[in-house]
């Protein structure tokens, strides 16, 4: 693994370094179960990805979710992205 690699790990434990790569962790499973009652973590992982890489902003993710998923589904997904972004441990 390259030293400048970034790992995003779905875990409740804080993990900061894996074989020289920068690691970020967030318990996406618990968040998804709490928010939507299913262990579908892709939206939460997007929030962690945004925080870890800075390749996409939180605002742009929230805008895209609102456009793609109006109503209750969009609100739930936006909340998961925001919570994951804010809760991702570095």
From CA 4, how far away is CA 36, in angstroms rounded?
A: 34
The pair of three-digit structure tokens given for residue 61, joined into one six-digit string = 């993710």
Interval 9-15 mean pLDDT: 84
In sequence order, which residues have a C-beta less than 8 Å from that of residue 75 and are 6 or more positions away?
none
Q: What is the pTM of this model?
A: 0.88
From CA 88, how far away is CA 37, in angstroms rounded?
A: 21
For 25-73, what is each residue's pLDDT tens digit? 899 999 999 999 999 999 999 999 999 999 999 999 999 999 999 899 9
Q: List C-alpha distances in Å: 82 to 1, 30, 60.
A: 29, 15, 11
């Amino acid at each position: 693994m390259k030293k400048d690699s970034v790992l995003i790990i779905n875990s409740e434990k804080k993990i900061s370094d894996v074989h020289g790569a920068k690691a970020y962790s967030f318990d996406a499973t618990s968040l998804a179960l709490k928010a939507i009652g299913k262990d579908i973590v892709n939206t939460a992982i997007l929030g962690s990805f945004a925080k870890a890489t800075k390749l996409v902003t939180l605002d742009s993710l929230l805008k895209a979710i609102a456009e793609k998923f109006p109503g209750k589904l969009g609100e739930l997904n936006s909340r998961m992205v925001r919570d994951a972004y804010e809760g991702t441990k570095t």
